[in-house]
Amino acid sequence: MTIIDQIRSRNGDVRRPLIMGVLNVTPDSFSDGGLFFDTEKAVDHGKRMEAEGADIIDIGGESTKPFSDQISLEEESRRVLPVIEKLVKSVSIPISIDTTKSEIADRALAAGAAIINDVSALRFDPRMAEIAVAYNVPVILMHMLGNPKSMQKNPQYRDVVSEVKAFLLDAVEKAAAAGIKKANLIIDPGIGFGKTVEHNLLLIKHLKALTDIGRPVLVGASRKFFIRSILKTDDQEPDPLSQTVEIGAQAVVAAALLNGADIVRVHNVENTKATLKIIQALKSA
């Protein structure tokens, strides 16, 4: 039984999509940079997300927003490890480490994390697959065009859905060839990572094409630029923390869930829990 199945079984509904709460321990993330940079504030927020209904907490110490630079291994470690070490003692839900560095993943898993969320799909650090095999943990493989520094420089596709699907199929096969159990693999189309507004909309609209791969699909679209771009008025983009953007984010969550998402990665767990209840009711009607 995979960790996804275990989480679902624990909640009494093996078909229910899961909510992954975002916990950025960064000073510069586009959506909440600096809000939880302090260890105690981050731990308190993690506990709050569990109370609001999160199934997984995803902790990241390095911003992957467009045009961002990498930070050192030691700085990333300094940011995330104290939070993980304290949070594993305070919550009963699994913690995911959002990193592209195998050494950070190794340290985080040793500290109690249970999932690797790698936005590079194991491409940036060849040793990441080795760490995943050693710990026998789930790995999230995400599509990204290039890297965070370059991904939004005029991204182009002939057919974004088929190209992202082909990339993820290949990523699954490469991960399996490296020794990671297919049951431990989760795929993510990488909303906002090297995509235009239209590319993101098409991927969400045609998400069922990715469910054909046969692995759980995660969608992380919360507060991203394409939502803010659609909602701007008089060329004024709304603040990522505004109620307007949150309403837009929940509309995208609803669409993703209706189109087959197994996990939604969000900033506002409480609102997402309400959205999920409505979608489940609609599907069961």
Question: What would the mean pLDDT of 190-216 be, rounded to a whole number?
Answer: 96
C-alpha–C-alpha distance, residues 28 and 135, integer Å? 30
Tokens of 29: 């993330």
Q: 157 pLDDT band (50/70/90 cuts)?
A: very high
CA 272 – CA 52 distance, rounded (Å)? 9
CB 128 within 8 A of CB 102: yes
Indicate the pTM of the whole model. 0.93
Task: Determine what percent of the chain is predicted with pLDDT higher than 90.
Answer: 80
Cα end-to-end span (Å), the chain: 29
Beta bridge partners of 141: 118, 187
Residue with tokens 């700085």: 75
Residue 269 is predicted with a pLDDT of: 98
pLDDT tens by residue, 111-139: 999 999 999 999 999 999 999 999 999 99
Query: Residue 68: what pLDDT?
Result: 64
Quick check: 20 and 265 in contact, CB under 8 A?
A: yes
Beta strand 139-142 with 185-188 is parallel
Which pLDDT belongs to residue 9?
79
As a whole number of angstroms, the distance between CA 34 and CA 197 comes to 26
Distance CA 18, CA 220 (A): 12
Residue 151 has pLDDT above 90, yes or no: no
Number of H helices, E strands in the chain: 11, 8
pLDDT interval class at 15 (50, 70, 90):
confident
Looking at residue 63, its pLDDT comes to 80
pLDDT digit string, tens, across residues 64-82: 766 667 889 999 999 999 9
- pLDDT in the model for residue 91: 97
CA-closest candidate to residue 177, choices 118, 130, 116: 130
| 45 pLDDT more than 90 | yes
Give residue 64's pLDDT: 76
CB distance 200 to 221 below 8 Å? yes
**Contact at 8 Å (CB) between 86 and 39?**
yes
- Least Cα distance to 85 among 103, 61, 110 occurs for 110
* Mean pLDDT over each residue of the chain, to the nearest integer: 92
Residue 263: which pLDDT band, with cuts at 50, 70 and 90? very high
pLDDT at 34 over 60: no
CATH of domain 3-277: 3.20.20.20
Length of the chain in terms of residues written: 285
In tens, the pLDDT along 221-240 reads 999 999 999 999 988 989 99
Give the tens place of pLDDT for each residue, 82-91.
999 999 999 9
Which burial class, exposed, middle or buried, applies to 71 when counting CB atoms under 10 A from its CB (0-12, 13-18, 19+)? Answer: middle
Q: How far from 113 is each of 2, 129, 178, CA to CA, in Å?
A: 15, 16, 21
Nearest Cα neighbor of 222 from 17, 18, 32 is: 32
Q: Which residues participate in catalysis according to the annotation?
A: 224, 265
